[in-house]
Amino acid sequence: MVSKSGPQSVDISGPGARLPAGGQIRRLTLVGARGAVGRSRTAVREALRDWQWLPGETEEQQAAAEDVLLVACELVTNACLHAGGASEIVLHCTAERLRIEVGDSEPTLPAPRLPHLASRPGGHGLHIVARLTTDWGSAPRPGGKTVWAEFATP
């Protein structure tokens, strides 16, 4: 959903609510938005705060939240650089996991650059995503694809 004032963030089950069995979903539409990475980072940070991931009570919780922010920004950046821009970012949080999905209009599925050479500039993003998440992948969808990443709840 895009309004004349820009993209909107929707919280399906309300901020600050404890996680029900089905979890909570946040969706930020990014079509035509300027500053998609910054907007996404702000939306993810707000969701993490509402879902009690931030401020982290322990170092583990704080580190997990920072990893989520990094991966979300990386997925949106990749969509902007390689797929003509992100169309949306969706967060789904349950008591067991957090899933980030970034949609775009490019049908080509991403693949990590191989061989991965740490000394070569660029091409590290999906390697970082793979290292920080419990799982990640991509799937075609009508009009493009979705790239997703999952984290275990700390």
Q: pLDDT for 137-149, tens place per residue?
A: 999 999 999 999 9
> How much of the chain, in percent, has pLDDT values that exceed 70?
86
Kindly state the helix (H) or strand (E) to which residue 67 belongs, with its residue range.
helix 59-82
State the pTM of this model.
0.82
Domain extent listing, the chain: 23-152
Query: Is the distance from CB of 129 to CB of 136 less than 8 angstroms?
Result: yes
Closest residue by Cα to residue 31 from 113, 95, 120, 102: 102
Mean pLDDT value across residues 79-93:
95
pLDDT at 19 over 60: no
Q: Tell me the HSE value of 38 on the side-chain side, using a 13 A CA sphere.
A: 3
**23-152 fold:** Heat Shock Protein 90 (3.30.565)
Query: Is the distance from CB of 26 to CB of 10 less than 8 angstroms?
Result: yes
143: alpha, beta or left, given left = phi > 0 and alpha = psi -120 to 50? left
pLDDT at 21: 57
pLDDT at 1: 26
Structure confidence at residue 9 as a pLDDT band (50, 70, 90): very low
Q: pLDDT for 24-78, tens place per residue?
A: 999 999 988 789 999 999 999 999 999 888 877 788 888 999 999 999 999 999 9
Alpha carbon of residue 115 to chain centroid? 25
Q: pLDDT for 94-127, tens place per residue?
A: 989 999 999 999 999 998 887 767 777 777 889 9
Beta carbons within 10 angstroms of residue 48's beta carbon: 24
